[in-house]
Amino acid sequence: MIYKDVKMTLRTVPTKPFDDQKPGTSGLRKKVSVFQQPHYLENFVQAIFNALENCKGKTLVLGGDGRFYNRHAIQVILKMAAAAGFGKVLVGHNGILSTPAASCVIRKHSAFGGIILSASHNPGGPGGDFGIKYNTTNGGPAPEKITDDIYARTRYLQRYYIVDASDVPLDTLDPTRLGDMRVEVIDPVYDYAEMMESLFDFPAIRQLFASNTFSMRFDAMHAVTGPYAHDILENRLGAPVGTVMNGIPLEDFGDGHPDPNLTYAHDLVETMFNGRSQHPASRGTGTSMCGVQPPDFGAASDGDGDRNMILGKRFFVTPSDSLAVIAANARLAPGYHRGLAGVARSMPTSMAVDRVAQALNIGCYETPTGWKFFGNLMDAGRVTLCGEESFGTGSSHVREKDGLWAVLFWLNILAVRQQPVEDILREHWAKYGRNFYTRHDYENVDSTIAKDIMAQLHNSMATLAGKTFGMRRVAYSDDFSYTDPIDGSVSTGQGMRIGFEDGARIVFRLSGTGTEGATLRIYVEAYEADPAKHMQDTQHALADLIGIANQLSGIREKTGRTEPTVIT
């Protein structure tokens, strides 16, 4: 391999600390304008490198979701990586590398770690959000002990190191040298697609598409999964051209909000629920008003490719149910034919997968929200499959949630079972019972008001047990804490839980993924064993619990909101 040399000189730049560089559940996320401040990006990158040990001569993976500021940040990081002494950087072509693909590349090439540039499902563009996070050598997000160390270093940073050099070409696969550091621009899809083909029954899925009786739409939301979906779905699996919607990554995501839910994936929802007047989250199903048949299967992914939404014909599959169905049908996919070591879910995720785990006689773990909490369980061989209610599903094939992987798993299930999505869910509920579940998001709430609501709830937790609300009696209430069974680390303050004697739950959390105001999330769940009641309206089935949640939090009175921003 012939490398093109780029001349460079090492420079030490004096700087001052910023006081707002504490990483959240998925790295550091701020408005683009914040990252554009002089030295802001450089300070955080230097803090990452200072927190790493023995990175000299090692390999770093680098890429992002293609949002605005992605290309500039990559050039800065390449020059700082050269100054830090890395031996090689694998960077995605045109700076593109989905979050699960980055995890795949880190693991396949035994890289020291990776830097992923993304604000996930948050809006992009010059007025939007930007983010950066570090993934360790296992391919997963850095654990809290590392992110805490990075934050601590940002608070007393006095200088950073960078080389003065011309920018590295990202639009060609030709390798480059920055001094002693090699830069290899890689095909962002190849390694990931190769892995997917090893996990799923591609011949069966090809036959499904070739049957001419099955149709699908995948909404890439003008985000990172467009190139991956075009290659895997249309090229490798033979889906008709046009199956992928909004497949060209754009810096502002087409002026959209790249969050694959029923509110923001409106193009796909209109296609799958044509003419339907009710919100798809109200029931599982409904009848078209215009007589045009929607596709049989629909799916979407988010800004960086780690989330997914699954839809059938006029049918919404909650992320919690999707996790449970995948667990129950895992053996249908070649990569999982030996079964699952165990499953894990985040605390707010419904307990639907718990019932599958019990039937399969495998372990089931409840963790805080944040994919990093699944990493230790997977590395220790405790779990194979994991998921979060926030449209994230994944397995031990990488150490990130993986949107397109979940879509391919569903295609594998559909290809083998030869049933519509709705029928698969009906049969699943008949066997395991149905966990009615909804999430109400109140976005961009004033941070002070949001914190006051959570503080009030926290103060009431000790007094709720034994109280009766309507027909429901409180069995327990707490602020969820988690002790990692592998390393013994403790995470507290992970969300308020109220459990009722009949197994119903209400959970309150402040989301850690936004950059403006606060997002208050209310999760409501109730179990129903009777198949005759499984197709009732979800919001109706949970109406009394939703009322209790509103009563306990006072959220509508305190925020002035008459309804949630998003219901899923």
From CA 408, how far away is CA 215, in angstroms rounded?
14
Indicate the DSSP class of residue 143.
Answer: P
Strand order in the sheet with 113-117: 4-6, 176-178, 181-186, 88-96, 59-64, 113-117, 129-135, 28-31
Burial label, 164 (beta-carbon count in 10 A; 0-12, 13-18, 19+) = exposed
Indicate the DSSP class of residue 24.
Answer: B
From CA 373, how far away is CA 363, in angstroms rounded?
16
Nearest to 283 by CA among 310, 316, 312: 316
DSSP SS3 for 394:
strand
CA 326 to chain CA centroid, nearest Å? 17
Burial label, 207 (beta-carbon count in 10 A; 0-12, 13-18, 19+) = middle
Can you spell out the DSSP letters for 494-528? --EEEEETTS-EEEEEE-SS-SSSEEEEEEEEEEE
Q: What angle do CA 432, 434, 438 make, to 5 degrees?
A: 145
Q: Which amino acid would we find at residue 5?
A: D
Region label for 218, one of left (φ > 0), alpha (ψ between -120 and 50) or beta (otherwise)? beta
Q: What are the backbone dihedrals phi and psi of residue 489, each rounded to the nearest 5 degrees, phi first?
A: -70, 150
Can you spell out the DSSP letters for 521-533? EEEEEEEE--GGG
Tell me whether residue 282 is one of the annotated catalytic residues. no
* Number of CB atoms found within 10 A of residue 397's CB: 21
CB 270 within 8 A of CB 263: no
Q: Which two tokens stand for residue 564?
A: 């949630």
Q: Which helix (H) or strand (E) holds 30?
A: strand 28-31
Q: Which of 120, 301, 320, 396 is catalytic?
A: 120
From CA 254, how far away is CA 252, in angstroms rounded?
5
From CA 395, how far away is CA 330, in angstroms rounded?
11
Nearest to 170 by CA among 101, 75, 85: 75
DSSP SS3 for 77:
helix
Q: Which helix (H) or strand (E) holds 316?
A: strand 315-317
Q: What angle do CA 365, 367, 368 make, to 5 degrees?
A: 170
Partner residues linked to 60 by β-bridges? 89, 113
Q: Any idea which residues carry the catalytic annotation?
A: 120
